[in-house]
Amino acid sequence: MNDKVFQIWHQKREQGFLNWLSKSTLGSFAFYLVFSIAFQYSSIGEQGIASFVKSQWVNYVLFAALMIIANGLLWLYRESSYKKEARRRNIM
């Protein structure tokens, strides 16, 4: 882990797990929602966006759940790497 990545993760971990998890999940969900609507706009047709979103709610819930799991695992991996690097640098 180089110095820049180490410092960035040090700052992010100070925010806390739940704060980081919610921001990461919300950001990826917003990205998925916008691009899902944008790329499937031709299938929306006369129904409107609200009707399209309503018909896709299962996909959105599944994506959000999977992103919570993936981001949680990513946190654990990054935290493990950070702790190894901190021990190597004799910080911890």
Q: Which residue range is the domain that position 14 belongs to?
A: 3-89
How confident is the model over 47-74, as a mean pLDDT?
91
pLDDT of residue 55: 85
pLDDT of residue 37: 84
Share of the chain above pLDDT 70, in %: 98
How many angstroms separate the CA atoms of 15 and 78, rounded? 14
How confident is the model over 69-75, as a mean pLDDT?
97
Q: How many domains does the chain have?
A: 1
Mean predicted lDDT score pLDDT of the chain? 90
How many angstroms separate the CA atoms of 89 and 92, rounded? 8
Residues 6 and 85 sit within 8 Å (Cβ to Cβ): yes
What is the pTM for the complete model shown? 0.82
In the structure encoding, which two tokens stand for residue 7, read together? 């410092």
